[in-house]
């Protein structure tokens, strides 16, 4: 069957009201769920799965994909408005989105998040269609040593989210790596910092850590100084994002989309590291790099492009190899199986109409996201106008419900509060929380792949440099580290010079 | 003139590293007897991270000892640093602990209503009526969603059960 024939077969499958309706409902449900802190896109997809049982395979799959796409985008709404990422993938959006909201530019930030998301989503879908086979076969060559070097490289992105002090960022990251060691040992199954408590044997709940670090410190800050919110409910600003601003951020959006496509096509990496890497690269390359972290619209564009660029690409290993790229695609694979479909190379031969129907549906979902997203921003942005003395208690209650709902476990609520206090101490000490979070995500992956490599090689470290892929990642890691250290030393010298100049001015 | 925060965090980092090396890892990480190589041992990764923590702590200490920062001109920030602010923060810690402990007994909805109202009071809300209405409405709406749409087994408590 030729490419055109395949497209036509797919079109015949999706050119009907049911498919459009499924996508529209899916995107809407995803946007609503993603915008509620604690209701992650993963949870929304999992909750929607039972509703697909009675639908036709393509309709059910499109419904789930719509939820996935909507959920990933909508995580940016609470990230920007209330500094609480709706999904882990939106953690990087907080860095510039929230400062923009505080400056009265929430509408602008949300608009840019939407446009960047839709652009990245479209690019990711196109990449899925064009490069599925090639990229998937590349990722198939990865073994534990390659993954280890890839994750090590990903950890260098910490430098991009460390704020003013690189050492404080590394300190925060090491804390994140340490917290990630809690639970049963990955190889031997023995206790590690879990005190024989069954609640800790599986490690700390990621959602509890995420919400604790990003939402609770804001609530505590409000308690510490209630006067800080007196008389000012954040204005969304009258201005919407302009075409000139979109054009200025276009390079970062494209770069972030491509990063998302690359990382998304590798199973297990996920949207959050992609968003942070995209943000870090945008910051490194931007003319306005000093504004990053203080409300730079390019930062919002880069992080949203990074996380949405993953959405289509995670389907590459799923469809081409039958390997789920992340948790959400693992749930989606369940939907395939319910309908008697087995994702993998044979599906491209046996069910090519469904494959191309999905591809077309995904492109339609990018357009639908633009419409549904625009409406949802206008609906959800009123959250910003709620008095803070009412909003923050509501956020606290919402966080408790959301964290509890992940595992139906009150222990996770305690973890969230504890992490909140840690986050607050870090906030007061000017220690960035983002490196903690990214290290907490990557920690188990890093350790697991390291130990698997050691098991494979009989503890010979040379396996970590066994081929071109590992050499490539070692080289880019080295280059990144050198660049970071140079930038850090330069920044430190500049800061000292400025302090001296200020001291001399005062003395004079 | 004050030492910078780098110095304090460096000290904390070194202290944490020493605590992990000398007490936490030997006590709270179990190593099986048949581990063939130290690199594969469950303690290897925590020890490696403790080592990195010590290095970072030393770096922060050196950086902090070199830079002396001026005492902040914090007159504007002064009211927030009063005893009252610390008391509010302490009360919030108690509130969070009581909230988490009350969920199994009172139920998620009723505990949340009380916690919402108490938190709004601690934040000195200038909108007491909307806060009170929200304190009742928000937990109920969330309950309706999580219990009836998402099928989450929301704790009901020992006293008043909701449909």
Query: Measured between alpha carbons, how far is A224 from A24 in angstroms, rounded to an integer?
Result: 43
Burial class from Cβ neighbours inside 10 Å (0-12, 13-18, 19+) for residue B35 reads: middle
Q: Is the pLDDT of residue B136 over 90?
A: yes
Question: CB contact, 8 Å: B144 with chain A?
Answer: no
Q: Do B5 and A429 touch (CB under 8 A)?
A: yes
**Structure tokens, A173:** 């990251």
Q: Taking CA atoms, what residue in A is nearest to B132?
A: A390
Whether the pLDDT of residue B75 is over 50: the answer is no
CB contact under 8 A, B154 and A404: yes
Chain A CB within 8 Å of residue B65 CB? no
Cα distance from A203 to chain B (closest Cα, Å)?
A: 14
* A481 part of a folded domain: no
Residue A230 has pLDDT above 50, yes or no: no
pLDDT of A40 strictly over 80: no
In a domain, A497, yes or no: no
Query: Residue B49 is nearest to which of A178, A396, A410, comparing CB atoms?
Result: A178
| CA proximity to A78, closest of A414, A391, A429, A445 | A391
Inter-chain residue contact B120 with A431, CB threshold 8 Å: no
Confirm or reject contact between B108 and chain A (CB < 8 A): yes
Give A417 or A81, the one with higher predicted confidence.
A417
User: What tens digit of pLDDT does each residue of A323-371 get?
Assistant: 666 667 767 777 787 778 877 667 777 787 888 888 888 888 888 988 8
Q: Do A393 and B79 touch (CB under 8 A)?
A: no
**Chain B residue closest to A426 (CA)?**
B9
Domain total of chain A: 1
**pTM recorded for the entire structure:** 0.72
For residue range A249-278, what is the model confidence (pLDDT) as tens digits? Answer: 899 999 999 998 888 877 656 688 888 888
Contact A397 B138 (CB under 8 A): yes
CB-based contact A294:A178 (threshold 8 Å): no
pLDDT score recorded for residue B107: 92
Q: Check B138 against A394: CB less than 8 A apart.
A: yes
Residue A485 lies in a domain: no
C-alpha pair distances (Å), A242 with each of A95, A97, A138, A236, B23? 21, 16, 39, 15, 57
Report which of residues B38 and B49 the model is more confident about.
B49
Q: How confident is the model at residue B96 (pLDDT cuts 50, 70, 90)?
A: very high
Nearest to B120 among A393, A404, A455 (CB): A393
Q: Which residues pair with A184 in a beta bridge?
A: A191
Q: Show residues of chain B in contact with A401, CB under 8 Å.
A: 108, 112, 139, 142-143, 146, 154
Beta bridge partners, B3, equal: B68
Quick one: tokens of A250?
Answer: 């276009």
How is A209-273 classified by DSSP, letter by letter? HHHHHHTHHHHHHHHH-GGGGTT-PPP--SPPPPHHHHHHTHHHHHHHHHHHHHHHTSTT--HHH
Give the lowest-confidence range in A46-55, A379-388, B134-143. A379-388
Name, in order, each residue with C-beta under 8 angstroms of B30's C-beta and a sequence gap of 6 or more. A185, A190, A191, A192, B42
Is residue A308 included in any domain, yes or no?
yes
Per this entry, what is the length of chain A?
A: 508
Task: Note the pLDDT tens digit of each residue in A431-442.
Answer: 888 788 778 877
Is the pLDDT confidence value at B6 over 90?
no
Nearest-angstrom CA–CA distance, B56 and A49: 46
Cβ distance of B123 and A389 shorter than 8 Å: yes
Percent of chain A past pLDDT 90, that is, above it, reads: 13
- CB contact B17 to A (< 8 Å): no
**Quick check: B70 contacting A, CB < 8 Å?**
yes
Residue A381 inside a domain? The answer is yes
**Chains A–B, number of C-beta pairs less than 8 Å apart:** 186
Pairwise CB contact (< 8 Å): B127 & A170? no
Helix spans in B67-127 (H): 83-106, 108-122
User: Residue A300: which of A78, A97, A71 has the closest Cα?
Assistant: A97
Q: How far is B160 from chain A, CA to nearest CA, in Å?
A: 18
Measured between CA atoms, the residue of chain A closest to residue B28 is A193
Residue A189, domain extent: 3-466
Residues facing A191 on adjacent strands: A184
CB atoms within 10 A of CB A344: 15
Helix (H, G, I), strand (E, B) or coil at B69: strand
Q: Which residues, 6+ apart, have CB-to-CB distance to A300 below 8 Å?
A: A76, A80, A93, A96, A97, A100, A109, A112, A113, A116
**Does residue A260 fall inside a structural domain?**
yes
Q: Helix (H, G, I), strand (E, B), or coil: what is residue B132?
A: helix
Mutant choice from A49, A164, A172, A400 vs B, greatest count of B C-beta within 10 A: A400
């Amino acid at each position: 069957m030729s490419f055109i024939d395949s497209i036509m077969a797919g079109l015949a499958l999706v050119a009907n009201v049911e498919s459009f309706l499924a996508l529209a409902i899916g995107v809407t449900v995803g946007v609503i769920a993603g915008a509620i802190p604690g209701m992650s896109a993963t949870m929304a997809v999992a909750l929607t799965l039972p509703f697909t049982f009675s639908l036709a395979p393509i309709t059910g799959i499109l419904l789930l994909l719509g939820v996935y796409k909507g959920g990933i985008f909508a995580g940016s709404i609470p990230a920007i408005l209330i500094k609480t990422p709706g999904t882990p993938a939106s953690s990087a959006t907080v860095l510039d989105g929230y400062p923009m909201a505080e400056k009265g530019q929430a509408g602008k930030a949300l608009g840019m998040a939407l446009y960047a998301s839709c652009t990245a989503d479209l690019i990711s879908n196109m990449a899925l269609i064009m490069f599925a086979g090639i990229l998937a076969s590349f990722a198939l060559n990865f073994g534990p040593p390659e993954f280890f070097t890839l994750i090590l490289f990903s950890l260098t992105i910490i430098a991009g989210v460390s704020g003013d002090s690189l050492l404080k960022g590394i300190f925060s990251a090491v804390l994140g790596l340490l917290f990630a060691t809690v639970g049963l040992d990955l190889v031997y199954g023995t206790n590690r910092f879990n005190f024989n408590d069954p609640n800790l044997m599986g490690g700390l709940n990621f959602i509890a850590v995420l919400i604790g670090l990003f939402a609770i410190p804001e609530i505590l800050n409000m308690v510490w100084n209630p006067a800080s919110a007196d008389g000012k409910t954040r204005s969304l600003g009258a201005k919407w994002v302009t075409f000139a601003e979109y054009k200025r951020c276009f390079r970062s959006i494209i770069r972030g989309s491509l990063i998302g496509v690359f990382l998304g096509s590798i199973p297990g990496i996920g949207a959050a590291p992609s968003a942070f890497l995209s943000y870090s690269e945008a910051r490194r390359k931007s003319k306005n790099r000093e504004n990053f972290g203080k409300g730079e619209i390019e930062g919002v564009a880069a992080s949203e492009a990074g996380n949405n660029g993953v959405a289509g690409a995670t389907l590459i290993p799923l469809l081409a190899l039958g390997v789920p790229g992340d948790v959400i695609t693992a749930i989606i694979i369940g939907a395939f199986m319910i309908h008697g479909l087995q994702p993998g190379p044979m599906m491209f031969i046996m069910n090519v109409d469904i494959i191309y129907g999905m591809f077309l549906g995904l492109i339609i979902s990018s357009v639908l996201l633009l419409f549904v997203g625009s409406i949802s921003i206008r609906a959800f942005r009123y959250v910003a106008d709620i008095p803070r003395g009412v909003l923050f208690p509501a956020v606290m209650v919402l966080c408790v419900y959301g964290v509890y709902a992940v595992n139906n476990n009150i222990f996770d609520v305690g973890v969230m509060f504890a992490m909140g206090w840690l986050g607050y101490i870090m906030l007061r000490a000017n220690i960035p929380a983002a490196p903690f979070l990214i290290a907490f995500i990557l920690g188990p992956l890093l350790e697991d792949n390291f130990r698997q490599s050691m098991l494979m090689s009989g503890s010979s470290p040379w396996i970590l440099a066994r081929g071109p892929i590992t050499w490539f990642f070692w080289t880019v890691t080295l280059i990144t580290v050198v660049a970071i250290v140079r930038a850090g030393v330069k920044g430190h010298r500049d800061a000292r010079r400025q302090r001296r100049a200020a001291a001399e001015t005062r003395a004079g | 003139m004050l030492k910078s925060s780098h110095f304090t965090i460096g000290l904390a980092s070194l202290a944490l590293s020493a605590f992990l090396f000398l007490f936490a890892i030997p006590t709270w990480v179990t190593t099986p007897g048949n581990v063939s190589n130290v690199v594969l041992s469950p303690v290897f990764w925590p020890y490696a991270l403790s080592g990195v923590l010590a290095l970072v702590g030393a770096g922060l200490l050196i950086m902090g000892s070199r830079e002396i920062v001026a005492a902040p001109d914090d007159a504007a920030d002064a009211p927030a640093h009063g005893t009252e602010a610390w008391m509010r923060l302490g009360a919030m810690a108690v509130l969070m602990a009581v909230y988490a402990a009350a969920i199994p007994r009172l139920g998620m909805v009723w505990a949340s209503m009380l916690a919402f109202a108490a938190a709004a009071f601690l934040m000195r809300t200038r909108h007491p009526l909307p806060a009170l209405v929200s304190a009742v409405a928000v937990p109920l709406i969330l309950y309706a969603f999580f219990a009836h749409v998402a099928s989450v087994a929301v704790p009901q408590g020992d006293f008043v059960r909701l449909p």
